[in-house]
Amino acid sequence: MVFSSLVFLYYFLPIVIVLYFIMPRPLKNIVLLISSLVFYFYGEQWLVWIMVISTITDYLCGLIIEKYRKSKKISIAALIVSLVVNLGLLGYFKYSNFFVENINALLGANIPLLNVSLPIGISFYTFQTMSYTIDVYRGNVAAQKNFLSFATFVTMFPQLVAGPIVRYATIEHELNHRKHTMQNLSYGVCRFVVGLAKKVLIANVLGDFGNIFSSVTDKSILFYWVYAISYTLQVYFDFSAYSDMAIGLGKMFGFSFPENFNYPFISKSISEFWRRWHISMGTWFRDYVYIPLGGNRVSAKRWIFNIFVVWFLTGFWHGAAWNFIIWGLYFFLFLVVEKLLIGKYLKKAPSFFQHVYVLFFILISFVIFSGNAKEVLPAMFSVGKIPFINDVTVYYLKSYFIVFLIAVVGSTPLIKTLYGKIERSKAVRWTEPVVVLLLLIFSTAYLVEGSFNPFLYFRF
């Protein structure tokens, strides 16, 4: 089940909201837990047990770490069990076939691929539960004694399958002491519908353009460039839309999930881009990989090694394929070059140059991310070999111009800035519900007429 589906919007969510708010406070977590398990079971069936195993393991490991904190051997053993179980599940279900394929290619072997399916969201909920046991071991949080509360944290459907990666410390208090207000409910509904519109009316349409690109044989250089821009914007709107919907749903149920995107395309350096893009993942790798390795308080060689490890893992986390690993190492190189060579010069460069620099190399990075780099990158720079523009390109540019324009403007803070200047006016207070309702109606109409289009990040 996905948020941008009619089943979720008009059956599952209304039923859950009604049940949740009519239940007394002690039973609200039970409603969330059961509905989350139903939500996950609807799409994954028996694979729900993978999440249950992870939940039980980390709950027990947290209790053991807390109880035997003075005994280093026992507490470390419990932490290791947690890491081994979670990384083992992630490795088996997500990466086993990748390793088999590469062993076969390298050694000329014929090892059969394993008949395993990738559980949706496993990259997210395993990272959440690992961060919990690590934080308990570090003494940053107390172990959760109530299994119901802990299971609610792990399985909560708003952020279960595609983030943001919500750490236990972030919502520890809210698990049992959250407040429910009409203001939070109203904000949650608005945030959710805006995210839904971003997904359905922008990301899905850009996805349709990508499908057209794949089917067209008479391409031009400009067509390849427009595809690269379209795909980059599609990934942004697809993933940020899910984060918006997750944050909105969290607010409806009294939780404050962390922001995951902060207009990354206005960045002036690659380093800044990664402080604005997929923030919860970046901070996870920073706190649980980069800093434990020594961070930047080490020699230059060691720092380069630390950055290499982080970005190799970041790329590999996104998918079991070489294009994702190359994509991660691509950013490793840029971050090292910015830090050691060009950073001080980049800061002195004109703002326009900084933006062009970031946008150009981010665009190239997402071509690598798409897995189409072998075809697309050479064609983008094939001056003289294929036409710069042709009638097919002009036709599709005209057809999708409005969507491209909305996507480009929507990826900047312009709309948010303008809204901030007028949000207190009476006109806005009266028209905001109307706009939200219209976005819901248009999104529903698209879903009724359109084809199924799941979130890109579900496969990660």
The domain segmentation of the chain, as residue ranges, is 6-178, 184-459
Q: Any idea which residue has 């062009």 for tokens?
A: 356
Q: How far is CA 58 from CA 53, 64, 68, in A?
A: 9, 10, 15
CA dist., res. 252 & res. 184, Å (int): 6
| H helix intervals, 253-321 | 270-276, 279-285, 291-293, 300-318
H/E element, 410: helix 391-410
Q: What pTM did the predictor assign?
A: 0.93
Is-contact 208 423, C-beta < 8 A? no
Residuewise pLDDT in 10s, the chain (460 residues): 788 889 999 999 999 999 999 999 889 999 999 999 999 888 778 888 999 999 999 999 999 999 998 888 899 999 999 999 999 999 999 999 999 999 999 888 888 888 888 888 888 899 999 999 999 999 999 999 999 999 999 999 998 877 799 999 999 999 989 989 999 999 999 999 999 999 999 999 999 999 999 999 899 999 999 999 999 999 999 999 999 999 999 999 999 999 999 999 999 999 999 999 999 999 999 999 999 999 999 999 999 999 999 999 999 999 999 999 999 999 999 999 999 999 889 999 999 999 999 999 999 999 999 989 999 999 999 877 899 999 999 999 999 999 999 999 999 999 888 887 776 676 667 788 888 999 999 999 999 886 556 666 555 5
Strand partners, 383: 386
Contacts of residues 87-90 at CB distance under 8 Å and 24 or more positions apart, as own/partner, are 87/126, 87/130, 89/50, 89/53, 89/54, 89/122, 89/126, 90/122, 90/123, 90/126
Active site residue 278: no
Structure tokens at 23: 């239940």
CA dist., res. 322 & res. 315, Å (int): 9
With a CB cutoff of 8 Å and minimum separation 6, the contacts of 240 are 195, 198, 260, 261
Task: Report the 10 Å Cβ neighbour count for 225.
Answer: 18
Among candidate residues 173, 177, 180, 318, the one labeled active-site is: 318
CA nearest 460: which of 235, 272, 244?
A: 235
